């Protein structure tokens, strides 16, 4: 049986939550260690996961953990989603895109979908039969989402969608894509609508390149093209057109918080691995940990990681009680992902040349961490939002 790195490293379980969340975390770390970690190099080489891994995750109850049981989910809360994302980070299989599927895509359908849409899509998202993606970014519109050009024109009881998207996570595998479109370009943000495209059922949809990234190699990030893609008007999320921007804004706190989840999990893993490493490695006749510089560096990082964990847990507790405001969620996204970059960089330094070698996990973490400050709204945009609230 494969070793469970989270257990070996003694990483913290989500101790702040109910026992059942701790049990889910144990199960998820076991699943990631036994089913995913042994094949992770293969996924990095292929630059994507395979469908089988998604179906296995679904069968293990790791998809849609916070969706109601009547739609095939496990009836949990964001605490359950957090436990799964923490397990992914603690085991070190960060490219598995189920965080986005679970805590971004599925909630849009739950919160804005009609009863018919929920019954149709959520159970298949829970089994992994459908893999979710959300397509906001375009070549000409990233931070400024009001600049989205993808157009959805009504044509009888269908929408005809035209446009292109880029940088879309799960973009090569996804077969349920929430597309940010303009239903009324004259109205700017108020003319934005979210429309679901089931890619197995349409013509005119094309996947572009699986983009060549510096990190998160195991995750597919893709261009998508929509050329007269016709979907029924019943695929609109929400009762009326023009609500897309409001829907995006309402869901952002959770999206930003889950970037913080990945950050705190990687911070804890990087520190645990580095503490082990500096105890083993010797220079000038003693272990690297015996140098005062090493102790001071690690003392600083451990302190900051502890502050990060307390802040993160507080954000989750507030979110579960419905009280996480968008400004605090922006703080969590920006501060935790910045801290992740710093901790991983300092930990790599303490590995010396070995830290720069791909065979050491810290090298992969260094590559994978960088994007956290960019996606989900860049950290500059987070500061803009925090600044506006002052």
Ligand X SMILES: Cc1cc2nc3c(=O)[nH]c(=O)nc-3n(C[C@H](O)[C@H](O)[C@H](O)COP(=O)(O)OP(=O)(O)OC[C@H]3O[C@@H](n4cnc5c(N)ncnc54)[C@H](O)[C@@H]3O)c2cc1C
C-beta of 355 vs 376, nearer to ligand X: 376
212 burial via Cβ count (<10 Å: 0-12, 13-18, 19+): exposed
Check binding of 142 to ligand X (CB under 6 A): yes
What's the distance, CA 249 to chain centroid?
Answer: 17
Q: Does 251 engage in binding with ligand X (CB under 6 A)?
A: no
Site for ligand X in 350-389 (CB under 6 A): 371, 374-375, 377-378, 380-381, 384
Q: Are 152 and 163 in contact (CB under 8 A)?
A: no
- Residue 375 CB, nearest approach to ligand X (Å): 4
C-beta closer to ligand X: residue 57 or 371: 371
Minimum gap (Å) between residue 316 Cβ and ligand X? 22
CA angle 21, 26, 29 (to 5 degrees): 120
Of 137-145, 229-237, 288-296, 299-307, which segment contacts ligand X by CB under 6 A?
A: 137-145
Calpha distance 225→161 (Å, rounded): 10
CB of 109 to ligand X, least distance (A): 16
Which residues make Cβ contacts (< 8 Å) with residue 120, sequence separation at least 6? none
6 is a site residue for ligand X (CB under 6 A): no
What number of other Cβ atoms are within 10 A of residue 293's Cβ?
Answer: 9
The stretch near ligand X (CB under 6 A) out of 108-116, 129-137, 185-193, 222-230 is: 129-137
Considering beta carbons, is residue 277 or 366 the nearer one to ligand X? 366
- Minimum separation from the CB atom of position 147 to ligand X (A): 9
Question: Do β-strands 192-198 and 205-210 pair in parallel, antiparallel, or remain unpaired?
Answer: unpaired
In angstroms, give the least distance from the CB of 376 to ligand X: 6
Q: What are phi and psi of 146, to 5 degrees?
A: -65, -15
Does 7 participate in catalysis according to the annotation? Answer: no
Q: In the range 158-197, which residues lie near ligand X by CB under 6 A?
A: 167-169
Pairing of strands 176-182, 132-135: parallel
Residue written as tokens 């998202």? 125
Name which of residues 211 to 240 contact ligand X (CB under 6 A): 213, 216, 221
Site string for ligand X, 88-127 (x = CB under 6 A): ----------------------------------------
Catalytic residue among 138, 255, 280, 346: 255
Scanning 16-24, 134-142, 247-255, 296-304 for contacts with ligand X by CB under 6 A, the matching segment is 134-142
Q: How far apart are the first and last CA of the chain?
A: 53
Q: DSSP class of residue 281?
A: -
The neighbouring-strand residues paired with 225 are 164, 206
Which is it for the CA torsion 91, 252, 137, 54, positive or negative? positive
With binding defined as CB under 6 A, does residue 143 bind ligand X? Answer: yes
26 near 7, Cβ under 8 Å?
A: no
Task: Please list, in sequence order, all residues whose beta carbon lies within 8 angstroms of the beta carbon of residue 248, skipping any fewer than 6 positions away.
Answer: 136, 145, 180, 192, 194
Asked if residue 137 binds ligand X (CB under 6 A), the reply is: yes
Per-position x/- string for 52-81, each x denoting binding to ligand X as judged by CB under 6 A, each - no binding: ------------------------------
Q: Of 69, 57, 66, nearest to 30 (Cα)?
A: 57
Residues binding ligand X (CB under 6 A): 134-137, 142-143, 167-169, 213, 216, 221, 371, 374-375, 377-378, 380-381, 384
Q: Which residues are catalytic?
A: 255
């Amino acid at each position: 049986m494969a070793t469970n790195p989270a257990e070996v490293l003694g990483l913290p379980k989500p101790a702040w939550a109910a026992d059942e969340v701790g049990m889910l975390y144990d199960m998820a770390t076991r699943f990631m260690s036994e089913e995913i970690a042994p094949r992770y190099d293969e996924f990095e080489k292929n630059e994507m996961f395979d469908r089988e891994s998604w179906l296995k995750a679904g069968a293990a109850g790791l998809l849609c953990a916070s969706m109601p049981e009547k739609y095939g989910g496990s009836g949990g809360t964001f605490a359950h989603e957090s436990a799964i994302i923490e397990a992914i980070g603690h085991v070190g299989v960060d490219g598995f895109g189920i965080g986005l599927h679970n805590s971004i895509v599925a909630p849009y359908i739950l919160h804005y979908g009609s009863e018919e849409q929920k019954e149709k899509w959520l159970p298949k998202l829970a089994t992994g039969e459908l893999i979710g993606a959300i397509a906001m970014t375009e070549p000409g519109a990233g931070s400024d989402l009001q600049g989205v050009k993808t157009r959805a024109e009504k044509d009888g009881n269908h929408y005809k969608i035209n446009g292109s998207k880029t940088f879309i996570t799960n973009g090569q595998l996804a077969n349920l894509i929430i597309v940010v479109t303009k239903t009324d370009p004259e109205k700017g943000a108020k003319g934005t609508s979210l429309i679901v495209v089931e890619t197995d059922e349409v013509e005119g949809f094309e996947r572009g390149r699986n983009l060549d990234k510096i990190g998160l190699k195991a995750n597919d990030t893709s261009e998508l093209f929509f050329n007269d893609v016709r979907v029924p008007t019943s695929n609109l999320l929400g009762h009326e057109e023009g609500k897309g921007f409001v829907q995006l804004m309402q869901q952002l706190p959770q999206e930003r918080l889950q970037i913080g989840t990945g950050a705190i999990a990687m911070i804890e893993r990087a520190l645990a691995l580095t503490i082990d490493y500096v105890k083993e490695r010797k220079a000038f006749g003693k272990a690297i940990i015996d140098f005062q510089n090493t102790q001071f560096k690690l003392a600083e990082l451990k302190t900051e990681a502890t502050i990060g964990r307390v802040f993160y847990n507080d954000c989750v507790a507030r979110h579960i009680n419905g009280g996480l405001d968008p400004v605090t969620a922006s703080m969590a996204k920006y501060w935790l992902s910045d801290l992740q970059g710093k901790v991983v960089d300092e930990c790599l330094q303490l590995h010396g040349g070995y830290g720069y070698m791909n065979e050491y996990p810290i090298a992969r973490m260094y590559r994978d961490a960088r994007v956290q400050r960019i996606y989900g709204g860049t950290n500059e945009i987070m500061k803009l939002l925090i600044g506006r609230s002052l």
